[in-house]
Amino acid sequence: MTTAESRTFDVRHVQLARAAFAAIAALMITFSSDHSAAVGSAVFSGFAIATAFVLLLAAWLVYPAGRRAPSIALGIVTIVAGMATGLFPLRTVTGFFVTVIAWALVSGIIELVAGWRGLKPRTERREIAPGVADARPVAPVGPRSESRDAIVVGALTMLLGIALLCVQPAYSLTYRLDEAGVTGTLTGITIGVGLFGGYAAIVAVYLGIAGFSPRAAAPAEPEAVATDASAPAPQADRKDSA
């Protein structure tokens, strides 16, 4: 069986890769004076597709069997959203808001639930000997630090979707700075792209810190006692007679 110690890649590498792509997206939006739907959709498309490849590869390179479902689900949802915003007909104000909001809510829920389930210990009935059941709680699925990080990132992603729902895509406000002699227009898409850029920056910092932080090893599950069918069942200890 492949153990966590024998794998070349682990959760730390997944977090650092996700942080790197989020940082690139945040920098592209921050240093771009054009926050139009075309630019926002292009940046989100690249961020989503790159992140999806990391998640899908992690399902086989990092996570063991039984823990791959959340990574695969996140990867599929994210790559679909990235490919959708990569289509030229959908690089509109409405297309950006609909796609990013749907992705943020769905992927946020998936990651939040996966993290919550990782913190919740499982209890299963096993036999440590014929007729002797072992009902000890099994260790949480994966390291608790990873589960907490998933809860935080899932909550941040859902907050992005909720924040974008509060933005009116058709909003437009013309302003003028008399001292600088600058006139501009604040639009709904400008706010929406800026919110995504802020989200990407926060996620990049958080996952970067999580990736570089030392963490305890995952708790090992209690080992089952191997028994032989011909071996007698264990008997209760006898007290010495007085």
Q: What is the mean pLDDT of residues 223-242?
A: 45
- Tell me how far apart the alpha carbons of residues 177 and 183 are, in angstroms, rounded to a whole number: 6
Question: pLDDT band for position 145 (50/70/90)?
Answer: confident
Q: What is the mean pLDDT of residues 125-133?
A: 55
pTM of the shown model = 0.77
Mapped onto helix, strand or coil, the DSSP state of residue 87 is coil
pLDDT-wise least confident of 98-112, 158-172, 202-216: 202-216
Q: What is the mean pLDDT of residues 104-133?
A: 75
Adjacent-strand bridge partners of 129: 132
Question: pLDDT band for position 149 (50/70/90)?
Answer: very high
Mapped onto helix, strand or coil, the DSSP state of residue 223 is coil
Q: CA torsion, points 104, 91, 207, 66, in degrees to nearest 10?
A: 60
- Kindly list the domain boundaries of the chain, sorted by start residue: 7-119+143-212
* Greatest mean pLDDT range, 1-10, 136-145, 183-192: 183-192
In this predicted structure, what is the pLDDT of residue 144? 66
User: What is the average pLDDT score of the chain?
Assistant: 82
- Tell me how far apart the alpha carbons of residues 147 and 105 are, in angstroms, rounded to a whole number: 19
In this predicted structure, what is the pLDDT of residue 4? 42
Q: What is the number of other CB atoms lying within 10 angstroms of the CB of residue 10?
A: 18
Ramachandran bin of 74, using left for φ above 0, alpha for ψ from -120 to 50, beta for the remaining angles? alpha
DSSP 88: G
